[in-house]
């Protein structure tokens, strides 16, 4: 099954690509907003540099660790590299400028839900801390809800829950 994003509302529509041949044009009607749009099987309008930029989202260039997203509702796997400083995490919304925009239909996740701060210590060690933004549904660390703006230190394997979505911290290798 393939997913196609609606150009109007960014909702994903799925279809079975094995039923069509390369080069064939398909017309979709978005299940969410009813906008009609076309795609062509096997081709991409993205330039090679845009496709590479999209892939780099999953590559950790700085060696500072990453966040693995396990969405409980739909199960789409996403991975985001962490950057030094504040990494604002929230639900993807076109036009929002956040560090880690999670592509989800989980409405219990806020657009700015929590922040993971990555700091390189003078001895070279990397430390991670988590705080709620504050969000409406709260941020959970190992089933314990954080207070508004409460900051806690987290380590490799920390399980963070935002609404119906779970994140796992993958710390940088030492």
Q: What domains are defined for the chain?
A: 2-40 (no CATH), 55-170 (2.60.200.20)
> pLDDT tier at 40 (50, 70, 90 boundaries)?
confident
In terms of C-beta density within 10 A (0-12 exposed, 13-18 middle, 19 or more buried), how is residue 62 classed?
A: middle
Query: pLDDT band at residue 127, thresholds of 50, 70 and 90?
Result: very high
Give SS3 for 163. coil
Per-residue model confidence (pLDDT) at position 70: 66
pLDDT at position 151 is 92
What whole-number distance in Å separates Cα of residue 136 and Cα of residue 146?
A: 12
Which helix (H) or strand (E) segment holds residue 51: the answer is helix 48-56
C-beta of residue 91 within 8 angstroms of C-beta of residue 100? no
Contact 4, 12 (CB under 8 A): yes
Q: How many other CB atoms are found less than 10 A from the CB of residue 73?
A: 13
Q: What is the pLDDT of residue 153?
A: 93
Residue-level pLDDT at 82: 92
pTM equals 0.60
Task: Output the average pLDDT for the chain.
Answer: 79
Q: Is 48 helix (H, G, I), strand (E, B) or coil?
A: helix
């Amino acid at each position: 099954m393939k997913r196609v994003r609606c150009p109007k509302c960014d909702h994903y529509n799925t279809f079975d690509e094995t039923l069509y041949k390369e080069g064939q044009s398909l017309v979709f009607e978005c299940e969410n907003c009813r906008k009609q749009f076309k795609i062509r099987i096997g081709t991409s309008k993205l330039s090679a540099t845009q496709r590479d930029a999209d892939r780099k989202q999953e590559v950790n260039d700085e060696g500072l660790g990453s966040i693995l997203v396990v969405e409980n509702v739909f199960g789409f796997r996403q991975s985001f590299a962490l950057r030094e400083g504040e990494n604002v995490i929230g639900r993807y919304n076109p036009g929002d400028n956040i560090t880690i925009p999670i592509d989800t239909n989980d409405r219990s996740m806020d657009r700015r839900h929590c922040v993971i701060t990555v700091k390189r210590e003078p001895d070279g060690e990397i430390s991670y801390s988590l705080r709620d933004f504050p969000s409406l549904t709260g941020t959970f660390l190992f089933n314990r809800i954080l207070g508004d703006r409460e900051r806690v230190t987290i380590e490799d394997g920390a399980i963070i829950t935002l609404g119906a979505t779970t994140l796992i911290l993958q710390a940088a290798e030492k």
